[in-house]
Structure 1
Amino acid sequence: MAQRITTLVLLLETLFLVSYVSQIATTAADNDVDVIHVAGKVMCQDCTLNYDKWINGSEPIKGAVVSITCMDERRRVRYYGSDKTDERGQFDLIVNNVLYGGKELKPRLCKVRLVSSPDQSCDIPTNFGDGQTGVDLVRPFMVFQDLVKYVVGPFYYTTPMCEAPKLENNY
């Protein structure tokens, strides 16, 4: 009986600590920094390969464009920015936390999504990692002193051969 109570107390303390740390991270992300960073990766995935190569053989896309769109509470666009990926397929969007007119950016109202791929052999966007529909910035990956960083993705493009056929009248 005493062991169960001790376990229950430890569980409650752990839940409280996780909730407290999450609250601190969210508060820091919303208020204490001048810029936020949003990082991720864009890859090419070829569906014509066998399963193992398809899953593990994706290649980075250099020069792919990824965007961030931030809204306000009334669903009006307050910020739009984009970045190109480097030779490793990585991007790092840097967004000012204070917008025009002194308004603060609310990261939870921002979406990051795929825009374009320069590789004509791999330019069909997929929704793996929500690259097409967009990823909401919910919780930062890292909060340290004056750095708040979100990590999204990886996002994937695929080859034209892998594009799902467009059906007329849903047939």
Structure 2
Amino acid sequence: MKMKFVWSIALLVAATTMMNIAECWEEKPANIASGVIRVGGKVLCQDCTDGWNEWVSGNKPIEGCIVSVTCMDDRKRIVYYGSDKTDKSGEFEVTIDEYIHGKKINPETCFTRLVSSPDPICNIPTDFAGGKTGVKLGRPTIMYRDIIKHVLGPFYYTTPMCDEPDTNDNDNDNENYGNSYANEKNY
């Protein structure tokens, strides 16, 4: 008798847990084709050691840079992380399924940022267009059928000679030294 009671309680707890999980899951409607979210842009090198005209219009694309896209859920947990390398013209494009593990991705909870540059000279990320700290996706640039596209950037890397040193005298920044994303976003 006691064993039946224990099994009954265990089954009740398991059923309740499964129902709670099922309520949190937003299933993809069966009659709608799965769409995709595309995030694209360009990565360029901007060298401040050149003259003004070369600095303004002399941006060159960097091949092989890694750009990442991270999407969060409502609880600030990562539900998607992807990256892409830039091609010869410095362009990247990350494709995200609209539904991941049964949950719909909200593009407004995604951000894109620079990760690395293979260029031995132009490898310091800048915050022009938010490439260093990350850019949240806003309104899509293109919407057509099941495709939503966000065109960002361009993002820029620069040379070590052009990197502006951090002159902030705030003592509270010691714990996040070198982590500009944490400083900017207060994580």
TM tier, smaller: 0.7 to 0.9
Q: Name the structure 2 match of 1:38.
A: 39
RMSD: 1.6
Match of 1:86 in 2: 87
Give how far 1:64 is off. Answer: 0.2
- Residue 64 (structure 1) aligns with: 65
**Structure 1 consecutive aligned stretches of length 4 or more whose deviation exceeds 4 Å:** none
Structure 1: which amino acid aligns with 2:160? P
SS at match of 2:139: coil
Per the TM alignment, residue 55 of structure 1 is displaced from its structure 2 partner at its CA by 1.0
User: Could you tell me how far apart the structure 2 residues matched to 1:122 and 1:83 are?
Assistant: 19
Residue 95 of structure 1 is matched in structure 2 by: 96
Residue number in structure 1 paired with 2:163: 163
Partner amino acid for 2:100? L
Aligned partner of 2:78: which letter?
V
Taking structure 1 as the reference length, the TM-score comes to 0.77
Cα distance in 2 between the residues matched to 1:35 and 1:138: 16
2:78 maps to 1:77: yes
- 3-state SS in 2 of match to 1:38: strand
- Percent identical among aligned pairs is 52
Which of structures 1 and 2 has the bigger CA Rg?
2
**Matches of 1:48 and 1:106 in 2, distance apart?**
41
Residues in 1 aligned to 2:168 and 2:37: alpha-carbon distance in whole angstroms: 43
Q: Secondary structure at the match of 1:73?
A: coil
Q: Does the Cα contact within 8 Å between 1:99 and 1:105 map onto a contact in 2?
A: yes
Match of 2:129 in 1: 129
Report the counterpart of residue 119 of structure 1 in structure 2. 119
Q: Which amino acid counterpart does residue 52 of structure 1 have in structure 2?
A: N
TM-score under structure 2 normalisation? 0.71
Paired positions, count: 139
Greater RCO, 1 or 2 (C-alpha within 8 Å, sep 6+): 1
* CA–CA separation in structure 2 for the residues paired with 1:131 and 1:33: 29
* Cα 1:167–1:96 shift into 2, 3 Å: same
Q: Which runs of 5+ in 1 are unaligned?
A: 1-30
